[in-house]
Amino acid sequence: MSNEEALAHAQNYLQVIRRVSPGYARAMEGVALGSKTKLLQIAALNVRYELMYSQFAKIGLKPRPLPGGCTAFGAMPEATDNRHVLLAQNWDWIPQVEGLFLKIRPETGPQVLCFTEAGVVGGKIGMNSEGIGLAINGLVSNRDNWERLRKPFHVRCWEILNSKTLRQTVGKIAGGERSCSANFLVGQQNKLGSGKLVDVESAPQSTLTLSPENGVVTHTNHFSNPGKLGVKQVLDEERRSTLHRYRRINQLLTPIRGGKEKLNMTKAEAILKDHEGKPESVCRHANPAFPEDERYQTVVSVIMDLYTGQLKATMGSPCENSYQTLRL
């Protein structure tokens, strides 16, 4: 897709965003003004999920590696040693993309701590002062199409992180059709010992809710049951690393699910550093078998305690960088 095509598509989506989320549109205008960047360029960054994942769907059945790779899991209070809800994720993407953590203090609504990409409003991984947490996974289906102009993925993430209840977050995910597929792992805890987690797989015209199994929920980059959502899975051979990572993350969490161990921040760090199957491992590294511009790797690793509002993160692979602690 050429730069001109991307900007033309961004113009169409800008009109959608102004209609469905005026606050998000104003925030994009602020980013454009502050960065001295054209608004359409900022808009293109904010709808890059729709533009890129539609392209992935088109080429997904061809013998070419596709990006994508996020490994996420969550644990309920009964599965953690401090009875707090934990959410964790490795986000795998293009290492040249600049990322940052934001602390957002709105005049009204929850305070937010989140990770995002440069130029993208709000965040895609994070939590808020109401105890809401969000992790995400890219999904690809045969029905993904940017020409279906609907509320963009990043706008939904922004709305989730501005929600006050878990029911509201699910409504933000499931409300209306979507241009492209995506997975949202969301949770909430604002009282010790009680909390909730739910995973929502979303296809363009349907959603599927997955509940924790023995206090633990996991997800990577494929649908658990595409038939229930009325879509076909788009996986070429290289993208099948999602199946390996899914098996491995569940294997690593078996002692937690079985009640033999309790999860904590330290154990979550060790899980996110796992190299079984490297380079296509939970802690993902550049694969030299791929062209240089298609060597995707873990660019941020995040662990969130939804009760305390503590977030531990690395910028870059967790095996090569120390976790730093941030707080709401």
What is the reported pLDDT for 206? 98
Band (pLDDT 50/70/90 cuts) for residue 313 is: very high
Residue with the bigger pLDDT between 52 and 151: it is 151
What is the reported pLDDT for 60? 47
Give the range among 142-146, 162-166, 303-307 with minimum mean pLDDT: 142-146
Does the predicted TM-score (pTM) go above 0.85?
yes
In whole angstroms, what separates CA 96 from the centre of its chain?
18
Distance between CA atoms of residues 72 and 59, nearest Å: 25
What is the reported pLDDT for 204? 95
What is the reported pLDDT for 68? 56
Q: Is the pLDDT of residue 64 over 70?
A: no
Question: Among residues of the chain, what percentage have pLDDT more than 90?
Answer: 80
Per-residue pLDDT tens for 186-217? 999 999 989 999 999 999 999 999 999 999 99
Distance between CA atoms of residues 302 and 254, nearest Å: 21
Q: Once rounded to an integer, what is the mean pLDDT over residues 35-43?
A: 97
Residue with the bigger pLDDT between 95 and 159: it is 159
